[in-house]
């Protein structure tokens, strides 16, 4: 592990964020009925999204899944008008000639959409949520993606694109990605047929990290009725899973996606001189998860006020200082 770490304490974070630590005393208990829409870009039947669906349900969330019928990685925030499929869904998970959208007959909360990730998020928000939630989701969870989405890749990432579309529809959204690509091409059936495989253990570890993040987000100190700052999506990257890196040991770092330009100013924490570490550097340095705040359209780093707000809302994660 290369990164030097210190727990973020009030003394290190300056006046602006000093209140954050005290807020931990007034965290609200986890409500358990929060309405979550999950989507991704690797497709509705990959092990990684199904592991997450199971984990969030087990944790008490009210979950629906709406994701592309097949791998639509790299399609950014593209939108289309989904048309009927002629071929089976990925891993033969739906029959050929089965329409533009469909669901698992034994679990109608599991839905596929013959379109892009943003189409799947759209269908989930506009069509499924009114049925299952009688309203809008509290949060859209996009991913975890198979493979990282740090730096420039946020421009083409379907995982980030779907989250951006949700924010455009005024639904708070977080994109998650896991640096381990080992779950590529793995079907949901492996969760039961090969429960000890590295792929399945990895999918479940990322699902546990996502669950931990959601618990912290929903336990946020009272700030405003909105779950996240307006016009902001969060892009979270999980590290590769080697050794003992898991949901208990992972350390969370507030990051930026792009090199800081002259006119940018980041939140001042950890004696950082106003520059947050880069997300790719952080997740490459060991058992660290990066959290970057981005604008939903251009996918550029948010300003220091938004970063400070995110730090405040997610204080239950226990962010650490990082110096690579």
Ligand X SMILES: *[C@@H]1O[C@H](CO)[C@@H](O)[C@H](O)[C@H]1NC(C)=O
Residues of this chain that interact with ligand X (CB under 6 A) are 42, 45-46, 71, 73-74, 93, 104, 106-107, 110, 146-147, 181, 184-185
At 205, is the secondary structure helix, strand, or coil? helix
- Give the strand pairing for 233-238 and 35-39: unpaired
- Would you say 3 or 117 has its CB closer to ligand X? 117
In whole angstroms, give the CA distance from residue 63 to residue 34: 8
- Would you say 71 or 220 has its CB closer to ligand X? 71
- Would you say 25 or 192 has its CB closer to ligand X? 192
- Would you say 237 or 251 has its CB closer to ligand X? 237
In the complex, what is the shortest distance from the CB of residue 44 to ligand X, in angstroms, rounded to a whole number?
7
For residue 237, give the nearest of 255, 249, 225 by alpha carbon: 255
Cβ-contact 206, 178 below 8 angstroms: yes
In the complex, what is the shortest distance from the CB of residue 183 to ligand X, in angstroms, rounded to a whole number?
6
- Would you say 185 or 197 has its CB closer to ligand X? 185
Beta strands in 122-213 (DSSP E): 139-146, 173-178
In the complex, what is the shortest distance from the CB of residue 245 to ligand X, in angstroms, rounded to a whole number?
21
In the complex, what is the shortest distance from the CB of residue 97 to ligand X, in angstroms, rounded to a whole number?
16
∠ CA 224-282-304, nearest 5°, is: 35
Cβ-contact 104, 55 below 8 angstroms: no
Q: Which residue is nearest to ligand X (CB)?
A: 184
In the complex, what is the shortest distance from the CB of residue 26 to ligand X, in angstroms, rounded to a whole number?
39
The greatest distance separating any two alpha carbons of the chain, rounded to the nearest whole angstrom, comes to 62
């Amino acid at each position: 592990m290369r990164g030097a770490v210190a727990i973020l304490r009030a003394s290190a974070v300056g006046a602006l964020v000093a209140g954050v630590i005290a807020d931990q005393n007034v965290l609200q208990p986890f409500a358990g009925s929060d309405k979550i829409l999950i989507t991704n870009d690797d497709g509705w039947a990959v092990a990684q999204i199904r592991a997450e669906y199971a984990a969030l349900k087990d944790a008490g969330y009210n979950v629906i899944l709406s994701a592309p019928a097949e791998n639509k990685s790299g399609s950014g925030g593209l939108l289309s008008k989904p048309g009927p499929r002629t071929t089976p869904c990925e891993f033969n998970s739906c029959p050929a000639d089965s329409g533009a959208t469909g669901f698992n007959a034994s679990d109608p909360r599991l839905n596929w959409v013959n379109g892009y990730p943003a189409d799947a998020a759209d269908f989930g928000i506009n069509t499924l949520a009114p049925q299952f939630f009688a309203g809008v989701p509290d949060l859209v969870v996009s991913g975890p993606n198979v493979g990282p989405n740090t730096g420039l890749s946020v421009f083409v990432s379907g995982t980030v694109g779907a989250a951006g579309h949700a924010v455009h529809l005024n639904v708070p959204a977080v994109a998650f990605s896991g640096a381990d690509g080992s779950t590529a091409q793995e079907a949901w059936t492996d969760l039961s047929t090969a429960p000890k495989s590295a792929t399945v253990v990895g999918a479940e570890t990322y699902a546990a990290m996502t669950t931990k993040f959601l618990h912290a987000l929903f336990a946020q100190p009272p700030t405003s009725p909105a779950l996240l700052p307006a016009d902001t999506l969060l892009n979270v990257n999980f590290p590769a899973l080697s050794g003992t890196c898991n949901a208990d040991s992972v350390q969370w770092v507030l990051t930026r996606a792009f090199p800081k330009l002259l006119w940018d100013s980041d939140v001042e924490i950890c004696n950082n001189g106003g520059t947050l570490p880069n997300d790719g550097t952080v997740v490459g340095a060991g058992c660290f998860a990066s959290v970057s705040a981005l604008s939903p359209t251009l996918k550029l780093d948010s300003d220091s006020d938004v970063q400070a707000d995110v730090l405040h809302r997610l204080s239950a994660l226990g962010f650490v200082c990082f110096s690579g």
